[in-house]
Amino acid sequence: MQLSNSLSDQLAARLAQTEEPVTDASTLARIAALIEKISGTDAQTVEAHHTPEDLGLGSLDRIELMVRVEDTFGVRIDEHVAADLATVGKLSEYIDQQVTDAE
């Protein structure tokens, strides 16, 4: 799951053009909204225990999700860390921790 910096930067720039303003929604709800944009899975059905496979996310969808998460939350997620975040809930917890540590 390694992207060249150039490809990653291009994808991030492209996605930044379509991002909506940040709201006060919970981290999990915001991730669910990103998943809905990527896969079409209804955000209301996304739960903390769901894995990417449960939500129909393929390998490229997962890369897109990580790029969108990084842009949305302003956190950097190492590819090795991303591989260990097996569920939406684990991803949400990781983001919350990173945001808290940055404050």
Q: Please report, for the chain, the start and end positions of each structural domain, with discontinuous segments joined by +.
A: 1-19+46-103
Q: What is the pLDDT of residue 16?
A: 63
Name the class of domain 1-19+46-103: mainly alpha
pLDDT digits (tens, 9 = 90+) for 64-92: 999 999 999 999 999 899 989 999 999 99
CA atoms within 13 A on the CB side of 89: 5
For 67, counting Cβ atoms within 10 Å of its Cβ (0-12 exposed, 13-18 middle, 19+ buried), the class is buried
Q: Would you give per-residue pLDDT tens digits along the chain (103 residues)?
A: 455 567 677 766 666 655 444 444 699 999 999 999 999 999 999 999 999 999 999 999 999 999 999 999 999 999 899 989 999 999 999 999 998 887 7
Q: What is the pLDDT of residue 20?
A: 47
- The pair of structure tokens assigned to 35 is 């998943």
Q: What is the pLDDT of residue 1?
A: 47
Reference 34, options 61, 2, 9; nearest CA is 61
Q: What is the pLDDT of residue 70?
A: 95
